[in-house]
Amino acid sequence: MSLLTVSDLTVTYPGRGWRKPAFTALHEVSLDVRAGETVGLVGESGSGKSTLGRAILGLAPVSGGSISYDGRDIAHVSQRVRRELARDIQVVFQDPLSSLSPSLTVGESLAEPLRVRRVSRSEADDRIREALDLVHLPADAVRRLPREFSGGQRQRIAIARALVLEPRLIVCDEPVSALDLTTQARVLDLFLDVQERTGVAYLFISHDLSVVRVMSHRVAVMRHGRIVEAGDAHAVTTSPTNPYTRQLLLAAPVADPAAQARRRADYEASRAMAPYSQETTR
């Protein structure tokens, strides 16, 4: 059974007066994510990707269809249930500072979701240490402020914050789009590594087909609020049937798509053979 099932989801943003009419950003969108799986969501800016992510997080106005998580409809739930769900469904945005307060130390930012859930101090310390270890940051990062870190390290901290509650699904909305290419590659590897070690599922949103290609088991292509093509990541990103996906493929800055597609397979094979080592530097 799927962890997350989105069926015929329609999202209409209400208008504001006659100048700004209501706008339907998603039209009967269906998509599912299985436990431990990465589903890539790709499409150009304005196609509705973030709206789908926000709807899953309870942050967009659902006007039709359903969203079910673990067999339960979550499209229309109370604030209390939404807070409970946040333990299971987390988010990483493009800008890590959106989840980190500039005036709080990394330790305080990571402790906050645990404190809200009344996790004991000693257990919270353990979870924070584990989360920092998962993202390959030293334990003494807890005493420092976000501004003391580079962009890539800040995104690692944001990922650690998403991980402290041990979620089963993370909505990743353009999580590497603000990073330079070398840092992007490292952070993408980190996402793969975290999934390998925790079994977390990702809805991985990006406008960049070459990013989605290396991250995903399956890919859905969105255009003008509709999914125009979906299927196995390798098939969709190397021999798309939809003309729009072909356009995206031509725009993706990748010399050798087949080599990129093999990267994920190679990565998984190497993980299966070599147990995780502390010394691994990324």
Contact residues for ligand ADP, defined by CB under 6 A: 13, 23, 25, 43, 45-51
Query: Based on CB atoms, which residue is closest to ligand ADP, 67 or 131?
Result: 67
Give the residues lining the site for Mg ion (CB under 5 A).
50
Pairing mode of beta strands 23-33, 38-42: unpaired
User: Least distance from C-beta 159 to ligand ADP, angstroms?
Assistant: 20
Query: Based on CB atoms, which residue is closest to Mg ion, 113 or 175?
Result: 175
| Whole-angstrom distance, CA of residue 209 vs CA of residue 53 | 17
User: Least distance from C-beta 19 to ligand ADP, angstroms?
Assistant: 12
**Residue 64 and residue 28 in contact, taking contact as beta carbons nearer than 8 Å:** yes
User: Least distance from C-beta 203 to Mg ion, angstroms?
Assistant: 12
65 binds, among Mg ion, ligand ADP, none (CB under 5 to 8 A by kind): none
CA 123 from centre of chain: 26
Query: Based on CB atoms, which residue is closest to ligand ADP, 38 or 206?
Result: 206
**Residue 91 and residue 173 in contact, taking contact as beta carbons nearer than 8 Å:** yes
46 binds, among ligand ADP, Mg ion, none (CB under 5 to 8 A by kind): ligand ADP
- Residue 229: how many CA atoms within 13 Å on its side-chain side? 21
Q: What is the DSSP string of 53-80?
A: HHHHTT-S-EEEEEEEETTEE-SS--HH
CA distances from 55 to 45, 77, 82, 154, 208 (A): 17, 12, 12, 25, 21
User: Least distance from C-beta 51 to ligand ADP, angstroms?
Assistant: 3
Query: Based on CB atoms, which residue is closest to ligand ADP, 69 or 93?
Result: 93
Quickly list H helices, 23-119: 49-56, 79-85, 106-116
43 binds, among Mg ion, ligand ADP, none (CB under 5 to 8 A by kind): ligand ADP
Query: Based on CB atoms, which residue is closest to ligand ADP, 13 or 267?
Result: 13
Query: Based on CB atoms, which residue is closest to Mg ion, 60 or 111?
Result: 60
Phi, psi dihedral angles at 54 (to 5 degrees): -65, -35
Residue count (the chain):
282
47 binds, among ligand ADP, Mg ion, none (CB under 5 to 8 A by kind): ligand ADP
223 binds, among Mg ion, ligand ADP, none (CB under 5 to 8 A by kind): none
User: Least distance from C-beta 202 to Mg ion, angstroms?
Assistant: 16
